[in-house]
Structure 1
Amino acid sequence: MSKIGETLRAYLADRLGGALLFLAEGAVIWLVLWLGEVAMDIRDYILLLHFVLWGLAFCFDFSSYHRQYRYLQKLRDKKGELDRQENRIGLGDKKLFQLCDEILEEQNHLLRQREEEEKNRLKSYQEYYSLWVHQIKTPIFALELLLRGVAEPGLSSQMNAELLKIKDYTQLALQYIRLEDMAADLDLKTYALENIVKNQLKKYALLFINRKVRLELAEFQLDVITDEKWLAFVLGQILTNALKYTAPGGQIRIWLKDRTLIIADTGLGIRAEDIPRLFTKGFTGDNGRRQKEASGMGLYLSAKVMQTLGHAIWLESEQGKGTQVFLNFPEQSLQEY
């Protein structure tokens, strides 16, 4: 429906009484002239003049109504703050629309005030949790020093594995806080992908040993433009997930195909109905609910990070057979960022 047609329907609905009055008045005039035996040419002239005057009044009134209607529609449909100056029409003598303007101005003020309060509240949360994450690093470091003095190798290994989990959860919280300003934190350079992968495997070597999971790492070479810290975070999330859901005696394989890094495990696998939602914030899936350790944030943050870096991530899985995670690195130059 055209804008004019939509306005016309609204106009006729609002002016139905006026339209009926116009028809009734025309009929009364015609009846009076007919009963008064006025000459036909004079009667026709009077009726024509009546219709012309009413037509001019209609055109003027409809034009004014159309502008007002479109103006209020635009105000209604605007997202965020309403700009009452845009497409403003001269309604200074219309008390109703003056009141509308006053209401909108008040709503704008309240909206701006609430937005500012929300920004301040969010900033306070970010500052608090940033401080908490940085403060918690001190006792973590102290624990690492204390564990070096534990004489029993088996106990020391288990405690170090649990300490690594604490560090990972802490890092997850910190990266979530930083995600809003990730672009400002990026340090894009050309890196050898195999070196970043090997560094993460070295970091989680203790978990491989403790969980008795075999590693098969194919030799590969690929230079990628990325941020080493953020890509390492993504690799860490994928490796910890693979280790968490792979039973002792299982295997994790890593290889490169074209420009896609593939990390495959022989773990529990994922239900088909869970796969489309795995990168959704807070979604843990059936495996996460069983393990009772999943936060539903790891893959969500990984997807966000990969998207910001200009990379891609997806996965394939079959329940009971394992999962394959694919990290794709399109060929790019630094000028493209």
Structure 2
Amino acid sequence: MIKPFFKENAGWYATYLGVVFLFFLNFWLYHLPLVYFANALALNLVVLVVISLWRYFLFRKKMLALAHFVYDSELEDFTSPSDLAYRTAIAKLRHAANRKELDATSQKHNLESLIKMWAHQMKVPLSAISLMAQTNQLTPEETKRQVLRLENYLDTLLNYVKFNQHQDDFRFEKVSARKVVAEVVKKYRTACLAKNLSVTITGDTTFKTDRKWLSFALSQIFDNAVKYSHNNAQIRITITETQVTVSDDGIGILEEDLPRLFDEGFTGFNGHEHQKATGLGLYMTKQVLDKLDFSIKVTSRIAKGTDVTISSKQRP
């Protein structure tokens, strides 16, 4: 530990030697008796050794404390301005590390809860397929519908994990809103036929955005419209220069649920009542649209239907 001590204090010892040399030079140039210089130097060396031993003791104590300290209180003996600054920096680093660890633990807990919830949700279509197979009521159309539900649940889960790990996975290009909407509607064709829903698409525009993630967001919105629409109803998709609106005449959303629709894990009254919601679709939709520079607005009335509008924040 002696070598690190001299390395840290090398500047001071170099300064001391420089001052000694200047004093010697003055004595020599002015032909002063060097015996006085020697006496003064001896006294200074004694003082230097004593101070060095004291500083080495403090240095060693500090190094040992830093090498083995666990709690910040163990550094309270070091009160110089630089030591206080170091202690403050250490406290900030510890706070940041604790917060990061807490976030990681929370994220892990949320992911575990999500997987458990998803496992429960995926049992529903699997149980339906199993029951139909056991009762010889398994039809191609119903099988496709249940498989589509499974695919949607799995896609949402995988996209959720991917989005949380790689939030910069975006490739912006000019995209036709009508083409993206048409692809989404085609994807849900079986579900629409099962409920005899008619879908109309009006208008078109071009957005500079990420096609894949915009399709994901619109899929979540359209999926909700299909879920909560009555049989033989209509879903209207209206595209303007800066907006895409998905309207249905379904069961609607309670007014008190509207402010919390985009909270993670929130299912609301409809989700509990109809056991169709996972509480993640609209949360992810909001997160994705924020990254794509879109806003989302939901208006609804019970038994009257719901309008979901996404608006580009970019200037047309």
What TM-score, normalized by structure 1, do the two folds share? 0.56
Amino acid corresponding to residue 201 of structure 2 in structure 1: L
Aligned length: 220
Aligned to 1:158: 142
* Aligned mates of 1:303, 1:295 — CA distance in 2: 15
Structure 1 residue 168 and structure 2 residue 152: aligned? yes
CA apart distance, 1:261: 1.0
- Within the candidate set 164, 170, 178, 1:186 is matched to 170
Say whether the 8 Å CA contact 2:204–2:241 is kept in structure 1.
no
Q: Note the residue ranges of structure 1 that are not aligned, 5 or more in a row.
A: 1-81, 83-89, 130-151
**Secondary structure in 2 matching 1:317:** strand
CA apart distance, 1:184: 2.3
Post-superposition Cα deviations, 1:59-100, rounded to whole Å, max 9, x if no partner, equal xxxxxxxxxxxxxxxxxxxxxxx9xxxxxxx9449xxxx9x9
CA apart distance, 1:185: 0.7
* Superposed counterparts of 1:231-270, under 5 Å: 231-270=214-253
Aligned to 1:309: 292
**Secondary structure in 1 matching 2:256:** coil
Post-superposition Cα deviations, 1:200-235, rounded to whole Å, max 9, x if no partner, equal 1111111100111111222x2211011111011111
Aligned to 1:3: none
Post-superposition Cα deviations, 1:302-329, rounded to whole Å, max 9, x if no partner, equal 1111111001111110111000000112
* Aligned mates of 1:127, 1:175 — CA distance in 2: 13
* Superposed counterparts of 1:21-170, under 5 Å: 91-92=79-80, 111=95, 114=98, 155-170=139-154
CA apart distance, 1:115: 5.4
* Aligned mates of 1:268, 1:236 — CA distance in 2: 19
CA apart distance, 1:106: 7.8
Amino acid corresponding to residue 207 of structure 1 in structure 2: A
- Within the candidate set 256, 265, 268, 1:285 is matched to 268
Amino acid corresponding to residue 161 of structure 1 in structure 2: R
Structure 1 residue 223 and structure 2 residue 209: aligned? no
Aligned to 1:271: 254
Say whether the 8 Å CA contact 1:272–1:317 is kept in structure 2.
yes
Q: Note the residue ranges of structure 2 that are not aligned, 5 or more in a row.
A: 1-71, 73-77, 114-135
Alpha-carbon RMSD across the aligned residues, in angstroms, is: 3.7
- Within the candidate set 194, 207, 210, 2:191 is matched to 207
Structure 1 residue 330 and structure 2 residue 307: aligned? no
